Amino acid sequence: MSAPACRLCGAELTHTFVDLGMSPPCEAILEAGQLDRGETFYPLHVRICPQCLLVQLPAYIPAEEIFTHYAYFSSYSDSWVAHAKAFVDGAADRLGLHAGSFVVEVASNDGYLLQHVVARGVRCLGIEPAANVAQAALDKGIPTEVRFLGETTGAEVAAANGRADLVVANNVFAHVPDIVDFAKGLRALVADDGYVSIEIPHLLRLVEGREYDTIYHEHYSYLSLLTTQRVLAAAGLTVVDVDELPTHGGSLRTWSTPAENAGAPSAAVAKVLADEAAAGLHTLEGHAGFSEVVADVRNDLVEFLVECSRKGAKVAGYGAPGKGNTLLNHCGIRSDLLAFTVDRNPFKHGKFLPGTHIPVHPVERLAEEKPDYVLILPWNLRTEIAAQLEYVGEWGGQLVVPLPSLEIVHPGR
């Protein structure tokens, strides 16, 4: 069997970054009637291209199968909505956005970001492939088209609406199998003197923070600034600035413009590239060793949960994010070790996590059951969630953060 080909340069992918075995699609949450049926598991075998260094997961599942109907609604995270507002305010100041400007967001979800653009009186449009999530944005009065972005789609939207002063693509760049066609879609949408802003989880932080639970079938690419530059350059876009962000365990926000109008990159671009090079991420050899790190994370969590079981301590989860399903399936954790989890999203209530079949309940279930420990699965939101769960301390409960290393914390901290 021949090796898969790199989605950027076409080279054979013969080098492994990390192999997490088999896992079901992370958002394939189950109804009770599906528990006695078979589930399809797919490989989570991440490769690195020896030519262009793009770290990537082959498209084991088509994007249309994952994103046409989606279970993730961004607005259920208060901190994420606040992050989006801060971005809009900053972008408006930076670019001088006004009533005559035009902003397009790709993968606009339920309008969590564009609602702040609308509030400023700036014309906008969302492009969202999941019809059920797009409807939530439409219900808020946010213009939204249900489409997957590519070069053709971008040209069609631009022809109908004009080209945008700002195109936003937050936490979607890694979610597209044909990343070059997607980048060309961004170029088709943006005005020649406009900007494209992209937020991506930073591969450097994934490696440093042992954040392997961010690997799942929705994430086709794991990007450094170097590889992001290479993808955008293939579409005629040049990165001119970058912001380092704490979100998702450590992210980058790149600012790019059409290559023909791009000036010299900022000092921030040079700084991030230097950090990556120092960590070895600009060489093939520098990506080695992540499998051993992953094994340590898994062993620490499983040993903790087994010890809790032996002592008769009850452990529940908080959240039902995609990253949690990677972690739970890779560790082989089932409801005998994690009795249930809770989530703010009512779409998930009364259902079960894929692969593990751990039940999902409303948040109020924690106060009813009073578990000894609450495992925070969306650990990247630990500060927000720890504040929300301060009441867990009333019965002596404690919080457990699995990454970057296992940590037991008191509620509210």
Res 61: pLDDT: 79
> Does 211 have pLDDT greater than 70?
yes
- Whole-angstrom distance, CA of residue 87 vs CA of residue 93: 10
Q: Which of 62-76, 78-92, 275-289, 336-350 has the lowest mean pLDDT?
A: 62-76
Query: Which residue is associated with the tokens 């797009």?
Result: 134
**Structure confidence by residue, pLDDT tens digits, 77-122:** 677 788 899 999 999 999 999 999 999 999 998 899 999 999 999 9
Q: How confident is the model at residue 60 (pLDDT cuts 50, 70, 90)?
A: confident
Query: Which residue is associated with the tokens 């600034």?
Result: 225
CB 257 within 8 A of CB 233: no
**Tokens representing residue 28 in the block:** 């394939």
Q: What is the mean pLDDT of residues 48-69?
A: 82
Res 78: pLDDT: 75
Res 66: pLDDT: 60
> Does 69 have pLDDT greater than 60?
no
Instruction: Specify the DSSP element, H or E, that contains 252.
Output: strand 251-258
**Structure confidence by residue, pLDDT tens digits, 246-290:** 887 899 999 999 999 999 999 999 999 999 999 999 999 999 999
Q: How confident is the model at residue 67 (pLDDT cuts 50, 70, 90)?
A: low
CB 126 within 8 A of CB 145: yes
> Does 383 have pLDDT greater than 70?
yes
3-state SS, residue 274: helix
CB count within 10 Å of CB 21 equals 11
Query: Which residue is associated with the tokens 């100041």?
Result: 93
Q: What is the mean pLDDT of residues 57-69?
A: 71
Q: What is the mean pLDDT of residues 194-208?
A: 96
Q: Which residues of 377-387 are buried (b: 16+ CB within 10 A; e: fewer)?
A: bbbbbbeebbe
- Whole-angstrom distance, CA of residue 401 vs CA of residue 324: 12
Instruction: Specify the DSSP element, H or E, that contains 286.
Output: none
Res 246: pLDDT: 87
Instruction: Specify the DSSP element, H or E, that contains 206.
Output: helix 203-208
CB 398 within 8 A of CB 371: no
pTM: 0.88
Q: How confident is the model at residue 59 (pLDDT cuts 50, 70, 90)?
A: confident
Q: What is the mean pLDDT of residues 157-167?
A: 98
All structural domains of the chain, each given as residue ranges with its CATH number in brackets, are 66-287 (3.40.50.150), 295-409 (3.40.50.720)
Res 1: pLDDT: 58
> Does 202 have pLDDT greater than 90?
yes
